Amino acid sequence: MRKFVAAVLVLWAATVGQSAEPLVTAVEVRGAQRVEADLVLQTVTTRAGEPYDPQRLRADIRALFALGFFADVAVEREADGTVVFVVRERPALREWRLEGAQGVDKEDLDKAVLLKRREVLDGARVEAAAQAIRDLYREKGFYLAAVTSEVQAVPDDKNQVDVVFRVGEGEKVRVKSINLLGVEAADEADLRQYLAVSEAGFWSWLTDSGTFKEADLDRDREMIRAYYLNRGHVDIEVGEPLVSLTADRRWLKIDLPVREGAPHTLGAITFTGDLEFPEEKLRATAKLVEGELFRSEDFRKAHQLLADLYGDIGYAFAEIEPRTRVDPATRTVAVEYAIHKGELMRLGRIGVRGNTKTRDRIVRREMRLAEGDVFSGTGIRKSRRRIQNLGFFETVNLATNRRPGTDLVDVDIQVEEKPTGAFSVGAGYSSVDKIIGMAQVSQRNFLGLGYQLSAAANFGSAQETYNLTFNNPRVYDTEVYGGIDLYKALRGYSDYDKHSVGGALKFGTTWSEAWKSRWIYRYEVADVKNVDPAAAQLLLDQQGTTVTSSLTSLLLYDTRDNPWEPHDGAQAEGSVEWAGGLLGGDSAYLKYGLDASKYVPLWWNHVLTLHGRVGFVHRLADQAIPVYERYTLGGINTVRGFDSRSIGPRDGDDVIGGDKELLLNLEYLFPLVEEAKIRGVVFIDAGNAWAEGKPYLDTPLRRSMGAGVRWFSPMGPLRLEWGYVLDRKSGEEKSQWEFSIGGFF
């Protein structure tokens, strides 16, 4: 049939007067095993019924080679006009394996080698895989590692091969010395602490310090440049490093040439373009001062501050172009900020994505901007921080996108929720309460509406407490706060026991980003019992049942970046508690308190915390102040290293407490295991309490210092701390370990 069709085509061509150029009668593929013949026929342009064209065939051969599947392609023309593409496929990979590899994990090697089973193989891919293995070994410190490859045919008539990589690891090579050639003006010791490549030390076998990585060396060159630019050396040049092996091939020496140049100061600072603010305002915002040392960090901050200034009045896409002019003669850098404000933008649609449990409105109500408002960059950042501080989300991102052809900027709030509920049962040991057990059920986002609900029980040899708490931080989505606490407690002290049952109603409002107020009405029935007959008269007078009805007013200030793990900002609380009088009850007193903390961010996620607390309570209507409302210090929450309630006025051996207190804490916190939220702490504590009629500082502050570990565990904040008493008195311990574990609320 095929020959008949060919004859007809030839006869037709002759009949209509076509040229005698031969025609292609058919196109076939030969030699394909895994590659479909249809793929070849679709790739080539030679077709049956068209003239035989050698130039087109050459292009078809190039196209087939470009597919990457064939090691060879040829064309045969049969007598009947059939064109046959004869292909020889590249072999397919059956498997690859390593020989001699020990110093690198197989999982890391699997990630580095990108060869896949049954894929068509070529020499370039094999060499790329070998190079990836070499690079991985270099990264692990095997600088002399050699990798060779061998392709082995598999005798199965399926055109498959195995690839074997043979690794000669050699000895691990470490950095013996890093020579910073030309460093004079800088503090070399200070500069070196920013470098990723380090010299091997005594503990290198354990810490892996001294391992050489070429990528780290490239990073260090940029780090050195940044170091000098931030100190005014605008002409800094960091040359190509020279890396050499020692004669025994066990160590590397690195010579890194540095040309420091002279430090420069800031010259004239000018502003051009769309000046929406007086020049004095722009200068104050940029915080750059002529004559001061030119610092690249200050330069970048000024750019961002100016962009924020314009962004806060609606110019979301203002262009702030800094232009610098270096004057080598005067060693100054003149800075010109060319400002193009762009269009005034308003807020468009606000969307929420990623919240599987939390209601949209719970997220949206934290926004400091509403749809239609003039755009504000500061408002966007404050909104993100407020949403993050809810504690409901692992990550919070606010993406801003201009709606094409409009003056609207849409905000897409993207969140990733994290567990907010917890159920925990456990046991432990507290230095204050001895053996303790605990059980707690809590939910910080009850029903996805932001409600806080907690039920907890703690019991041990010295205490037994039960608490039920419900809080609504935003009643009807307003700034009004409401809550209720119910509790029952049995607490044993060294000189008396206190049994109490009570509750509290809480109300409040938010005045601004930083300021809040709270009012708490508390009603408690307390029974003091088991007082030694030989105890102080004040304790004997406290025996029996006392009803306390009190109202507390609080003013709260909070600028912390994260309430759960603060690194920056401040927190303060001023309070006045009034008991008795028109409120009824047996107790009558006024109690004043001020508690404040300041968090100072340092390098590498380290934090310095300063905390202070001062309190004063005085009696009303000549009613004695309840002993459990008096001030005593000592223990893990006040002055560490001292026994609980050991600091303060005594009557003989009995602790009676004072009507005044002062507490100071200085802490230095640093990460130990960042991923697990384990931190170390070093601290200094000082504090005391003074008796009625005695002034503050009538006796010196008691002092201690120490260190510890903190972990935000699944059962709550865990603390293990050791305190050393600096002014020990007769009968006091020199130091002690203290342990505690808290709840979520």
pLDDT at 4: 42
User: What average pLDDT does the segment 598-608 reach?
Assistant: 90
Q: How many CB atoms lie within 10 A of CB 686?
A: 20
Whether the per-residue pLDDT at 121 is higher than 80: the answer is: no
Average pLDDT of the chain is: 84
Give 14's pLDDT tier (boundaries 50, 70, 90).
very low
Confidence of residue 704 (pLDDT cuts 50, 70, 90): very high
pLDDT at 593: 96
pLDDT of 373 > 60? The answer is yes
pLDDT at 2: 46
Going by DSSP bridges, is the β-strand pair 70-77/82-89 parallel, antiparallel, or unpaired?
antiparallel
Q: What's the rounded mean pLDDT across residues 148-172?
A: 80
Sign for the CA dihedral angle at 106, 107, 111, 114 comes to positive
pLDDT at 519: 96
Q: Quote the CA–CA distance of 127 and 135 in Å, as a whole number.
A: 12
- Helix and strand counts by DSSP (H, E) for the chain: 13, 34
CA 196 to the chain's CA centroid: 20
Asked whether 369 and 383 are in contact (CB, 8 A), the reply is yes
Tokens 């609900």 belong to which residue? 453
- Among 280-294, 430-444, 505-519, the minimum mean pLDDT is found in 430-444
**What is the Cα Rg of the chain in Å?**
39
Element (DSSP H or E) covering residue 8: helix 2-15
**How much is the pLDDT for 681?**
93
9 against 399, higher pLDDT? 399
Q: Pick from 743, 531, 539: which is nearest to 649 by CA?
A: 539
pLDDT at 20 over 70: no
Average pLDDT over residues 428-440: 58
pLDDT score recorded for residue 578? 95
List of residues 6+ apart from 66 with CB closer than 8 A: none
Share of the chain above pLDDT 90, in %: 28
pLDDT band at 561 (very low <50, low <70, confident <90, very high): confident
The pLDDT value recorded for residue 208 is: 60
The DSSP element (H or E) to which 79 belongs, if any, is none
pLDDT per residue as tens digits for the range 615-672 = 999 999 888 888 888 999 998 889 999 988 889 898 877 788 899 999 999 999 998 8
| Lowest pLDDT segment from 6-20, 388-402, 571-585 | 6-20
Integer Cα distance of 578 and 591 in angstroms:
7
- Whether residue 297 contacts residue 326, with contact meaning beta carbons closer than 8 Å, is answered with no
Residue 203 is predicted with a pLDDT of 60
How far is 289 from 299, CA to CA, in rounded Å? 11
The pLDDT assigned to 13 comes to 45
Helix (H, G, I), strand (E, B) or coil at 378: helix
Average pLDDT over every residue of 506-516: 90
Calpha distance 392→420 (Å, rounded): 6
Summarised one tens digit per residue, pLDDT across range 670-692 is 988 877 778 999 999 999 999 98
Q: Is the pLDDT reported for residue 7 higher than 70?
A: no
Cα–Cα separations (whole angstroms), residue 524 to 128, 471, 498, 546? 76, 20, 12, 8
Max mean pLDDT range (33-37, 241-245, 350-354) = 350-354
Highest mean pLDDT among 91-100, 233-242, 419-428: 233-242
605 compared with 740, residue with greater pLDDT: 605
What's residue 588's pLDDT?
A: 92
What distance lies between CA 197 and its chain's CA centroid? 24
pLDDT band at 483, cuts 50/70/90?
A: very high
Which residues lie below 8 Å from residue 153, measured CB to CB, with a gap of 6+?
A: 91, 160, 161
The predicted structure's pLDDT at residue 253: 87
pLDDT at residue number 604: 81
pLDDT in the model for residue 15 = 44
Taking the C-alpha atoms of residue 282 and residue 305, their distance in angstroms, rounded to an integer, is 9
- The model carries a pTM of 0.62
Mapped to the 3 state alphabet, what secondary structure does 505-541 carry? EEEEEECCCCEEEEEEEEEEEEEEECCCCCCCHHHHH
Q: How confident is the model at residue 523 (pLDDT cuts 50, 70, 90)?
A: very high
Alpha helices, H only, 287-431: 296-311, 360-364, 377-388
Contact 435, 458 (CB under 8 A): no
Q: What is the pLDDT of residue 12?
A: 46
- pLDDT for res 332: 92
What mean pLDDT is predicted for residues 580-591?
91
For the chain, percent of residues with pLDDT exceeding 70: 92
**138 has a pLDDT exceeding 60:** yes
Which amino acid appears at position 637 of this protein?
A: N
Q: Which residue blocks in 620-685 are alpha helix, DSSP H? A: none
